[in-house]
């Protein structure tokens, strides 16, 4: 189960986010033109009919509203749809400019906005198409347009000899376009980078799952291959115990041997079950306190000479944890690493807040060399890692597969601290034991 594909989580889409940004740009531009039209209608002295630009504004406004509704649907946003929206911007703006002075309208340079947006989010061939259509539309407005007195090159309301509404409009349009490009295009580029980072995380999660599945398959195969010789040895030991001529000392040794063989068979059966569960990807939900306590007790039976202190610092009932057997194995690997340092006592601490479960395992060993810590944090695995190599790699992969994180660091007072952070399951526990 990939934590990035957890149930109930809406898939991330940079194309959908960028389309909404484009619609926001269009809406702002239309509001600006609507304000100009209202100003001309109420303040201007010309009697020219303004039904043309008003109709164009209304049509673009309705299309923008429909496109905004479309972004709430489950349909994926394709590159061709994004291209079509940009073409709508260019063509719609051309119609609007035609009714409001053509190339004399200072807002005609808005054509640069869809061009920059295309360059930021679309392939080069689509960008060149937008550039060609924009250039053709801009050039056509020099020859085909309806005069708009406010934007005539020598319009009134002079302030000195060189300043006019046309000049002011050109300055304002530059400011307007610069702000839109700076804010929205940077935002779109950021969304694309986030999408790339998320894809990298997906690939890494897929590789981790493949590693776990490979180890699970190897474990299942090994358990199957060892089952036959273990059964043979068990039968032979049972026959020896049935021999009345067997001495007391040898009988005691055979009893111990039979117990050890039974333990091996139980371990292999559990290993095979764990491998099959891992390949099936099934999760169960259990109280985090019960899970950690059960794992520590199970590990303690195998390492009886190592003392351990388990503390639960959280208040109230322990939160529910969603896990599979690989998480228990990861915890036991961390405990084994702590015991292999030569520590006489290992401290295990469980805590939680409203969102995460935190587990710390602290040993009293010499700590991990800084260079090895750097390699572990960067994902490198060298031969100098010794016992921390494949075990820590698989533990980290299993924890991240559950949506968690493993942090290994040296304690200031000596020893090593392995901190495991896991998300809290939002569903109730289905089991109170975990074996």
Return the bridge partners of 323, or none. 284
What per-residue confidence (pLDDT) applies to 9? 37
pLDDT at residue number 162: 44
Q: Can you list the alpha helix ranges (DSSP code H) found in 248-322? A: 248-280, 288-302
Sign for the CA dihedral angle at 202, 204, 207, 208 comes to negative
* Residues sharing a CB contact under 8 Å with residue 1, sequence separation 6 or more, in sequence order: 281, 283, 401
- Euclidean distance between CA atoms 152 and 294, whole angstroms: 83
CATH 3.30.565.10 residue window(s) in the chain: 284-423
Question: Tens digit of pLDDT for each residue in 278-333?
Answer: 554 566 788 888 888 888 888 888 788 888 888 888 778 888 888 877 788 888 88
284-423 CATH, one of 1.10.10.60, 3.30.565.10, 1.10.340.30, 3.40.190.10: 3.30.565.10
- Please, what sign has the CA dihedral across residues 265, 266, 268, 272? positive
pLDDT in tens, 196-232: 777 777 777 677 667 666 666 666 667 677 777 888 8
pTM of the model: 0.46
Question: Would you state the pLDDT for residue 387?
Answer: 46
The sign of the CA dihedral 309, 314, 318, 324 is negative
Render pLDDT for 348-373 as a digit per residue (tens, 0 to 9).
Answer: 999 998 888 999 999 888 887 777 67
Mean pLDDT by 10 residues, the chain (435 residues): 39 66 83 79 63 83 87 81 87 86 78 80 81 84 77 49 55 63 67 76 72 66 76 86 85 86 76 57 78 87 84 84 80 86 87 88 83 63 49 76 85 87 73 44
- The continuous run of DSSP H or E covering 14 comes out as helix 14-43
Q: Is 284 helix (H, G, I), strand (E, B) or coil?
A: strand
The pLDDT value given to residue 359? 92
């Amino acid at each position: 189960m990939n934590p990035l594909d957890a149930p109930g989580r809406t898939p991330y889409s940079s194309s959908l986010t960028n389309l909404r940004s484009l619609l926001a740009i269009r809406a702002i531009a239309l509001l600006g033109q609507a304000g100009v039209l209202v100003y001309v209608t109420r303040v201007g002295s010309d009697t020219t009919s303004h039904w043309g630009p008003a109709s164009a504004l209304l049509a673009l406004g309705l299309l923008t509203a429909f496109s905004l509704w479309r972004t709430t649907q489950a349909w994926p946003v394709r590159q061709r749809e994004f291209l079509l929206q940009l073409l709508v911007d260019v063509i719609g703006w051309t119609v609007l400019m035609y009714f409001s002075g053509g190339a004399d309208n200072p807002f005609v340079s808005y054509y640069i906005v869809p061009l920059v947006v295309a360059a930021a989010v679309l392939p080069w061939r689509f960008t060149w198409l937008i550039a060609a259509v924009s250039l053709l539309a801009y050039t056509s407005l020099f020859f085909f347009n309806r005069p708009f007195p406010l934007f005539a090159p020598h319009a009134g309301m002079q302030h000195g000899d060189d300043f006019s509404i046309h000049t002011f409009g050109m300055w304002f349009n530059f400011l307007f376009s610069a702000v839109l490009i700076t804010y929205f295009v940077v935002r779109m580029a950021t969304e694309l980078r986030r999408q790339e980072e998320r894809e990298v995380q997906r690939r890494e999660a897929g590789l981790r799952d493949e590693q776990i599945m490979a180890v699970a398959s190897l474990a299942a195969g090994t358990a199957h291959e060892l089952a036959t010789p273990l059964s043979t040895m068990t039968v032979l030991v049972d026959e020896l115990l049935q021999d009345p001529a067997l001495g007391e000392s040898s009988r005691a040794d055979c009893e111990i041997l039979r117990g050890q063989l039974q333990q091996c068979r139980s371990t292999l059966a559990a290993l095979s079950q764990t491998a099959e569960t891992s390949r099936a990807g099934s999760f169960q939900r259990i109280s985090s306190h019960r899970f950690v306590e059960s794992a520590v007790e199970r590990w303690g039976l195998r390492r009886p000479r190592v003392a351990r202190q388990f503390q639960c610092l959280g208040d109230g009932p322990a939160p529910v944890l969603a896990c599979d057997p690989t998480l228990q194995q990861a915890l036991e690997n961390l405990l084994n690493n702590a015991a292999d340092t030569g520590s006489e006592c290992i401290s295990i601490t469980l805590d939680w807040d409203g969102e995460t479960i935190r587990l710390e395992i602290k040993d009293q060993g010499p700590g991990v060399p800084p260079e090895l810590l750097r390699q572990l944090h960067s994902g490198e695995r060298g031969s100098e890692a010794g016992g921390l190599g494949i075990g820590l790699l698989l533990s980290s992969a299993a924890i991240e597969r559950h949506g968690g994180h493993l942090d290994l660091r040296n304690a200031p007072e000596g020893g090593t601290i392995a901190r495991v952070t896991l998300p809290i399951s939002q569903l109730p526990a289905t089991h109170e034991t975990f074996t």
